[in-house]
Every structure is written in structure tokens, then in C-alpha cells.
Amino acid sequence: MSRTTLSPARILERCEALAALTEEEGRLTRTFLSPQHRAASELVGQWMAAAGMSARVDAIGNICGRLEGERPGLPCLMLGSHLDTVRDAGKYDGMLGVVAAIECVADLRGRGTRLPFAVEVIGFADEEGVRFGSTLLGSRAVAGTFQPEVLEITDRDGVSMAHALRRAGLDPAAIPTAARRRGGVLAYAELHIEQGPVLEDEGLPVGVVTAINGATRLAVEIAGMAGHAGTVPMNLRRDALAAASECVLEVERICRATPELVGTVGQIEARPGATNVIPGAARFSVDVRSPRDAERREAVRSIESAIQDIAARRKVKATITPMHEGKTAACAPWLMEQLGAAIEAEALPVRKLPSGAGHDGMAMAELTDIGMLFVRCERGISHHPAEAVTQADVETGTRVFLRFIENFRPHGGKS
Ligand code: HGY
Ligand code: MN
Ligand code: MN
């Protein structure tokens, strides 16, 4: 790989610039179609244009950049990650992958490299699913698997996804136009922080992902009976929050029983939410993951049955709504091999590892083969403001990714 102009400092500066676009004072939160999300897409679009790409916003709000190959209209190697964040997020989950991919394209263009394929970079609009609960919205639209029924889901202010799209100047009916045809995409590859402790524990800057664990998300509503906190005897209560709390502990008990199975209740809310009122209603989220789909589905069945048993015993009503189901997505061996070769060319060992975290590749796997390159993150911390990477690791990860792009050959393609 001839002398490059990659600038890890610029990548980190751009992650800082994106981190300033937050909906919540004093912490980073950027959700699907918020003004801050749209500002982030605009900023990324400018960086794409400066890298020599054409940039456009697609029908679901993804920002899409394209650098043509040696002649216009060639199928593309698609790169990308997401621009939305969790609440009180770190600066690198998603953003690092988008910014590093743009840096690679800028370098290729700067050296006048024309590849036998186009290169596209996508900043996906919603991977975390924070605003509407349903996740991978941007990548599902690109993969052609977007489910229109999610347009009716409302956010915590009662705004439907369809209405949010229209308010953002997008047409929900046009979402199918974001879908790519299979022949136009040679592969999807994503650079992402590991969000776990393995690379750091083994003193490695990068790793090759073998598979992305499958995940199920549920929304649970508990309907009990509100009442005066001072007058209703304990044995006559139908306390929705107490019932929800017992369910939370049951999720933990069920998932603790199986190695590699994980279950989380990340959101819980009691209504009406006054100190002196017995909660008449409660709602909470459930997130279950495993490397094995059958095991995850079995755990979800056990959790649903436990919730109904608790509700019956406490004389409350439980309504369970599936919000997301993503099966385990295997990374393609041929892409793992090409990523591994790029790591070896940097005289580094090739460490292969699964991803416990979900990624847009789960959706993109419905359209094309996927590959992922992990970059070490400090102490494995993620989904937290302490999420951190070193400039040296960003340099190594981006150099490996650039070499992968430059040496990329379609599956079974001529080397
Ligand atoms: O939830 C996840 O694992 C991903 O960060 N969306
Ligand atoms: Mn995340
Ligand atoms: Mn992510």
C-alpha cells in the first residue's frame, strides 16, 4: 500500500464534532430523525463530499456517499456504520466506523486510486432503536427488509415514526426506494469498536468478527390498579411496578442459568409516577441475546411464560409486544480471510471473535455477505460516556481497513 495520508487525529476530531450534536445537555444522546441527527448527517455528508464522494440522503434518512470505480456504475463495496446513539452514549459506537471509512475513501481518492468497483459509505440513521424501540431501521431499509408496520410505533412523546419521517421532510411511502438490488453490492464491511474486553485483555489493537449474536427485544405493559399509598392494605393491591420488578428479577434468573445467554431490562417506567400513588401501570423493555438462536428463542419463551405467571398471581394484566427479532448473523469466511490478510500485512496476529453487541450487519446480511473489523476500546466499556479508543489503535484499525478496501476482491473474484 503506497504512502497514505490517513489522519487518525482527524478521525478523532470528527468523532468529537459529532459528539457535540446531542439532544441532552451534558451527555451524548442522538436519536433517529432528531434535529441533532439531521445535523450529524449533514456534517457527514460534507465530509463525504470533501473526500470526493457524491452524497445524498435516502428515503429513511441514511446519509449515503459514493466514490465511483474505474468506470461509473460499477457494483460497490459498501462500508458504513450508524450515526444514532444510545442515551448517555460514548463517542465512538457507530461514529468511528463512518468517519474511518470516509478517511479511507479520501485517502484512496487523494492518491488517485481507481478501483475495479465503486465504494459506498453509509451513515445509518437508526441502529440503536432508542426512539421507537425497533432497531436497524436504516440498514433494514437498505437491505429491503424494512417492515412498514413499524411506521405506526410512537415515541415517548406519542409521535409516530411515519409522522417523524414527514416532519423530517421524508416520505414513509418512499422507503422501499432505499432498498438496494443484490447485484449492486459486492459486500458490506464495518469497522466498529469491540464494545467488549477481549482485544484489550490480549493486548491486540484489532480483531476479525466471526458472527453477530442474535437478539430479541420485547416491550411489556403491566396494567394493575392505582390507589392511595396510605389507605390500600398490601393484600388488596394490584401494584403494577411491584409486578414488573418481580419480572425483571425473573429475566435475570432465567438468563443467568445459561452461559453466553444475556438478558437485560434497560428501560422501566411506572405511572402515574407519584410518591403517594400505588403504580397502576408499568412498562419495561426486555433484551435477550445469544450466539445460538434456538437457545435465545427458548429463553424468550420462558421469560414470556414467567411474566404471565407473575401477572396472574398478582391479578394484573401483562401485554407483551415483540419489538425486534434479529437472528445471529455469520460473517462471510471469504471476507474474514481478506480482513485477516490486511491485519497480517500489518505484522499483527489475526484474532477472530464473536460480537455480543448488535450491528447493522445483522440487517445487511439479508442483502449481501458481511464482514466486520473490531478496534480495541479501553476497558471494553461502551454504551457509556467513558467509551474510549487510543489514537494509535484508530491508526492501526484504519490502516488495516484501507488495505482491506484496496485489496478487496469480490467473492471468488480474480486477485
Ligand atoms: O444493542 C446493541 O448491541 C447495539 O449497540 N445496537
Ligand atoms: Mn450501540
Ligand atoms: Mn454500534
**Ligand 1 in reach of 59 Cβ (< 6 A):** no
Q: What proportion of the chain, given as a percentage, has pLDDT over 70?
A: 98
pLDDT at residue 212 in the model: 97
Q: Does position 4 have pLDDT exceeding 80, yes or no?
A: no
Band the pLDDT of 1: cuts 50, 70, 90. low
Nearest to 401 by CA among 371, 381, 380: 371
pLDDT in tens, 378-408: 999 999 999 999 999 999 999 999 999 999 9
Residue type, 379: R
**Ligand 1 in reach of 58 Cβ (< 6 A):** no
pLDDT at residue 305 in the model: 98
Residue nearest to atom 6 of ligand 1 (CA): 128
**Ligand 1 in reach of 250 Cβ (< 6 A):** no
Band the pLDDT of 412: cuts 50, 70, 90. low
pLDDT in tens, 328-367: 999 999 999 999 999 999 999 999 999 999 999 999 999 9
**Ligand 1 in reach of 212 Cβ (< 6 A):** no
Band the pLDDT of 415: cuts 50, 70, 90. very low
Band the pLDDT of 2: cuts 50, 70, 90. low
Q: Which domains does the chain have, with CATH numbers?
A: 8-213+328-406 (3.40.630.10), 215-326 (3.30.70.360)
pLDDT at residue 411 in the model: 87
Report the alpha-carbon distance of residue 88 to residue 41 in Å, rounded: 19
**Ligand 1 in reach of 358 Cβ (< 6 A):** yes
Return the CA Rg of the chain.
22
Cα→Cα distances 251→69, 258, 371, 382, Å: 50, 12, 32, 22
**Ligand 1 in reach of 128 Cβ (< 6 A):** yes
* Average pLDDT of the residues in 229-233: 97
pLDDT in tens, 11-37: 999 999 999 999 999 999 999 999 999
* Average pLDDT of the residues in 154-166: 97
Residue 357 CA: nearest ligand 1 atom is 3
Residue 53 neighbours by CB distance under 10 Å: 23
**Ligand 1 in reach of 280 Cβ (< 6 A):** no
pLDDT in tens, 299-331: 999 999 999 999 999 999 999 999 999 999 999
What H or E segment, with its residue span, contains residue 307? helix 293-313
- CA–centroid distance, residue 100 to ligand 3 (Å): 14
Q: Which ligand is nearest to the CA of 383?
A: 2
Residue nearest to atom 2 of ligand 1 (CA): 358
pLDDT at residue 414 in the model: 45
Pocket test for ligand 1, best of 84, 265, 296, 383 (most atoms within 8 A of CB): 383
Backbone φ and ψ of 57, nearest 5°: -100, 130
Q: What is the dihedral of CA 150, 153, 356, 38, to 10 degrees?
A: 90
Q: Which ligand is nearest to the CA of 124?
A: 3
Place of cell 421469560: 303
Residue nearest to atom 1 of ligand 1 (CA): 358
pLDDT at residue 413 in the model: 54
CA atoms within 13 A on the CB side of 118: 20
